[in-house]
Structure formats: structure tokens, C-alpha cells
Amino acid sequence: MGRFSLRVATLALPCLLTIFALPIRLSSPVFADTLSKGAVPLIPRAVLFGNPEVSGVALSPDGSQIVFLAPHRGVLNLWVQALEEGSKPRLLTNSTNRPTRPASWSIDGRYLITSRDSYGDENTVLIRINPTTGEEIDLTPGKGVKAAIWGDDQDVPDELIIGLNDRDPRYHDLWVLNLETGERRLLYEANDGHSVSVDWIDGSWQLVLRTRIKPDGGNAYDLRLPGQKGWKPFLSFSFEESQAGSTPLGFDRNATWLYGLLIKDGLPRLVRWRTEDLHSCTDDCPNELVYQSKSGALGVELSDPETDAPQILIETDLRSRKIIIDQELLNDLSALKQLAKDREFYIVDDDLDSMIWLVSLYSDTHSPQYWIWNRNQKKGRKLFSINPLLDKYKLSAMESLELRARDGLRLPSYLTRSTLNQSGPQPFVLLVHGGPQARDYWGLNSIHQLLANRGYHVLSVNYRGSTGFGQSHLLAGEGQWYAAMQDDLVDAVQWAVDEGIADPKKIVIMGGSYGGYAALAGLTRDPEVFAAAVDIVGPSNVETLLESIPPYWEPIRKPWERMVGVGRVDLEAISPLTYANRIQSPLLIVHGANDVRVKLSESESIVAAMHANDLPVDFIVFPDEGHGIEDPRNSLALYAVIEEFLAKQLGGRFEPIGGAIKDSSMQWQSKSATGSIGNK
């Protein structure tokens, strides 16, 4: 059986993915002399968002080597390195333009698997790389098809189960792919659009669980055990239960137990069903409780290498904590806690015997580090610091807050104060996460640190509709676009004003994807609150957004539309485009021309409406990007424009743009009346 992973189930809604990507490391820039001697130095954009020294580390199955991303001639490429003392890294790829994506190992360690798309179009190609020779082979069609890995198993290390939507762009058929030959055979054709999970049981790939979307937007699961010819009903969840994360997860390695995630009292619990009972019971199969979470998000950090049984769970609210299921790991975890000192740690990867662990050490004010932990030797060895240059600068701590909305709903939030140590209310940025079914986390946040270093306090709010804080918090966002979800953001700003943190005349709202929508909503719904806004790939018209979603989102269209409120909410009334004439404050809009989630026309429409009303707007487009920024030169240009825009609206400091725009693909589609950004 292949290892399963436990995550709180969420929908693939429009979400900020890679919009804040990793630009090329530059030489030390020359800054405008805006500071007096002894003042806090500016952190260069290239330090905050530049190429890390290393990232995307993955441990080989035998624990003898790693693959990782590191710069080569200014572009992130894949490298491999043996873990023996004194071994040197070896360059594997040679991309000279766009960064290579992270890679994972095949189960036997013979190959690496990575992917690419075409300038942000999300048509994903799976690529096999020989870690010895660097030879690359495309495993899936190179154009117009979105490929996805569905599963693997250590008993058949030369096979992958992949999904391809080449026959019907709405649905993924499942194929058994031979990694050695590249040949594939059809396993499942998704004519009905149902999502099917596959496990390796009794020496063959078998379809074991089938998901159906119910009329109310909930999920129904059918089960087909080995030896059974037909599907039988197994679990049925309401829309509310499904949205909160109730779902079966997968069988353990010996097919003795089927694990699942169920919601009780609004919080997740990990359960399991005995397979021998599943042969006879129907839709009321008894289950055994493994763990009841006390917070809204529950995941598996480590599983037993022989059985796949969960050994360490991690539950997350404002902060995360580990739940130790296997007490034999206590000594290792205690030693790692001492090693981490004032940092948190997370087990990123392990070898097939789980005796070598790849561990990440992290905090809110230090560059993350990768370590190897040898369980036999009870010894740790530092491999890399992701961005050691960052540790040379003064960073600001991220505060975890419990705010309240006007109706009493809890609003878990994170505040980072300006590092300039100025007294009294300060210029303030409300940074809104995308999704909306996503969330903000505690930890090192480069955007928070950029803004704090430039002289702003910055707040991120897990508004209603965010995931990870329980069923009631998530479902409170149903049908609340432009309504209570936006109220939560305004209420958080008001708290900051009342506390003397935010200057009420210098507040900017900024975000990507749904966060970009919220920024547009801020200037159209509450124009008196916000002095300016930054909208990155945000939709302006909810009706056209729904009409243009990618075809492969079809299986989740119904629950997504229900969360938006289709059929009960006037879509025109919740679209910022409808109220474009209300915009009174400066607005910067950013979009990737190849965005398939939020089309470029969403930004073009509101820009046209503002022009029709003689309203100024700054609008930039990256012709070679999609719903995120991958090219490092484009990332540098993006942040250069954003921080100068904020400086002009809020009076903060900034690193001069220099050649950032010239070196990127960025195009100005519209400049405000001053036309001053980027002209220096």
C-alpha cells in the first residue's frame, strides 16, 4: 500500500498560489539616502524574495542523498548531493530562464519526478529525470493537458498512477504509467465525472473509493473492496460536513484498516474502519477513534514505514502542536526539541525505514533551516539555511491575535509591527489571503517583513470562510462575499485603529486572488476606510468569474457555487465592478496574462470602467505569467512597483526600482495621473 497523507479537505477554489515567487539574487543595491545614521537598514528586495541558497529539499528513499533547488547562473535549478561528509552538490538541470520546479524521488530512488507548465497556463507536464545523468524525458503530453500524480506503491516502484484530462478536459482518466518505458495503460475512464481513488491491494491496482457530488453539494462515497464486482454505498456527508473536511483517506499498507477524517462538534477527528467489517456492513459501518482534534486542522506528520499507521499528528490553530501516537518516538522528538531551541521543527521527509529524517527548523524571525536527524545515532546535522542573508537584518516578530467580529465570531489573526520602532498610530497594511477557503499561518512571512521594514504595521486576518478553524468558522462564510466576509476585514482594521496601532488616514488593503477581490471590495464598499489598494489577480465580476473557471474544476463546481451563494445572492450586487464609480483612492492592479483561474479580463474590465469614469488607476500585466509569478525577474518588478506605490500612498520608505522593470516582462497598461511609479 502507498502512504496516504491526511489533510483537511478543501476545494480547489481560486487561490493565491505562487504570486510571490523567488527572484534572482542581486548584488547589494544602492538605496536612496532616506535614513539617518544608526537607523534600521532597508532589507533588499532580493534578500526577502530573491533566490534562496537552497529550497525544495527531498530525501532519497534509501536516505543516502538529497535533491534540492539552488541557483545556477541566477536561476533555480535542481541539484543532487550525497549525504556523506564532504560530498559536494552536483548540478542536474540547466534552466537559463524560468526556475525549475521541485522534484520528488520515485519509490526506488532510480528517478526524480518534476513538472512544468507553459508560462502559467496550468497545463502540467510530468517529467522524469535520471539523478545520475540528468537525462530528462516527458512522461505526459506536452501541450493542452493537465497531468497529476494519483498514487504510487513501494511494491511496484516502476509504476505511477497518473490522471490525464486529454480525453475530456473536465475530468481526469486514470492510467498506470511505467516509469522505465513511459508506456501507460488505462485503469479508469471518468465518463461520469466521479473522482476515484486507487490502492495497491493483493498484488494489483484496484479502484477502492468513488466520490459523488450530491444535489446539496455534499459528498457521497462508494466502496469496492478486493473481490467485489460492484460499488456499494459507504459514507454520505452533507454539504456542511464535506466542506469541513469529512472524508475517507485510504487503506493502510496491509489493507487491514481504512482511515478517515470525520467532523464531530465542528472539529476533525481521525478514525479508522476495520476492513473485515467493511465486507458486511453498509452505510453505518462502526469506526474506531484514533484522535479527536481540539483545533480546526489535523494532519499526519509521520507514518509507520511498515504499516502506514499514523505516528505523529499535527493540529493547527493560531499555532501548531504535535500529537504523538507512537510513544517510541518520544526520545527522538525530545532531542529534536532541544536541537531546535527557540524554533519550531517539522519532519519534512524520511527514508523507507524511517531511520533518517529530513527536518525543517523554523520561526517567525529566522531563516528556515534543513537538518538531517539520524535516529540510530541520535544525532542531527545541519544541511542548509534557506536564506542566511536574511538573518543579518532586524526582523519583526509575528504576533498571534484573537480578534472578534461585530457578531462575536472569532477572527484568528497575525500582526507584524514596523521594525522602525516609531510611537503612536502608524501607516497600516491589511494583507488578505486568497482562496477564500485557505488561511494565513504563523511563521516567517516575507511580505510581512518587507512591509514592517518599510515602516508599516501589517495585519493578516483569517476571516469567516477561511479553513483551519472549525466547521462553524468556515460555513459562516457561505454566501458572504462582499458582506460579512468583508465586514470581518473592516472590523479588524477598526480594532487596529481603536488600539492606536493604525493611522486611520493611512490604511491600505492588499491581496491576491480572493485577496485581490477583497481589495477591490474595500475601495468600492468601504471607500472611507482605505487610503489605497493593491489587487493582484483578483476577480472584479463574480458572474464572469463563475462562467470562466477552468474545465477541470467541473467536479467541484456545485459546492464552490454554493459557498459563493449562487441562486441566493445577486452576483451583480457582490461584484466590485458594479460599483467602480465609487473608487476614490489610488489603486494598483496586477495580472498575469495567462491566468486560467481569474482571467485577465477581470482586471481589464474594472480598469475600463474606471477610465470611463475618469478615475485614475495603475495597471500592470505580465504577459508570460498566470495565476502566480514564476519568473524571478518578474517577481523583482512586481515588488518594486508595489513598494514604491505604497510609499507614495503611506509615506513609508522604499528601495528604488532601479532596473527591475526593465529586466522583466512587465507591461504598463495604465498609469495614474502622476505617472511617477517606475519612472526613476
**Which sequence positions are flagged as catalytic?**
513, 595, 627
Nearest CA among 370, 394, 392 for reference residue 382: 370
536 class by beta-carbon count within 10 Å (0-12 exposed, 13-18 middle, 19+ buried)? buried
322 close to 313: Cβ distance less than 8 angstroms: yes
Phi, psi of 563 (to 5 degrees): -65, -35
Output the CA–CA distances (angstroms, integers) from residue 559 to 163, 245, 350, in the order listed.
22, 13, 36
Neighbouring CB atoms inside 10 A of 187's CB total 19
Number of H helices, E strands in the chain: 12, 36
DSSP letters spanning 19-53: SS--PPPPPPPPPPS-S-TTSPPPPPHHHHHS--S
DSSP letters spanning 486-516: HHHHHHHHHHHHHTT-EEEEEEEEEEETHHH
At residue 58, what is the residue type? Answer: A
Which ranges of 508-631 does DSSP label H, i.e. alpha helix? 514-525, 542-547, 557-564, 600-612
Nearest CA among 93, 60, 64 for reference residue 76: 93
CA-CA-CA-CA torsion sign (293, 298, 301, 305): positive
Bridge partners, residue 69, by sequence: 55, 78
If DSSP codes are grouped into helix, strand and coil, which group holds residue 574? helix
Residue whose C-alpha cell is 484514533: 290
Which triple of cell numbers denotes residue 2?
Answer: 502507498
Output the CA–CA distances (angstroms, integers) from residue 551 to 11, 189, 512, 602, in the order listed.
15, 17, 22, 18
133 close to 93: Cβ distance less than 8 angstroms: no
Nearest CA among 437, 419, 577, 433 for reference residue 492: 433
Pairing outcome for strands 502-512 and 532-536: parallel
CA distance linking residue 306 with residue 128, whole number of Å: 27
Residue whose C-alpha cell is 517567525: 364
CA distance linking residue 480 with residue 581, whole number of Å: 22
Instruction: Give the list of residues 6+ apart from residue 619 with CB closer than 8 angstroms, or none.
Output: 588, 589, 591, 603, 607, 668, 669, 670
If DSSP codes are grouped into helix, strand and coil, which group holds residue 612? helix
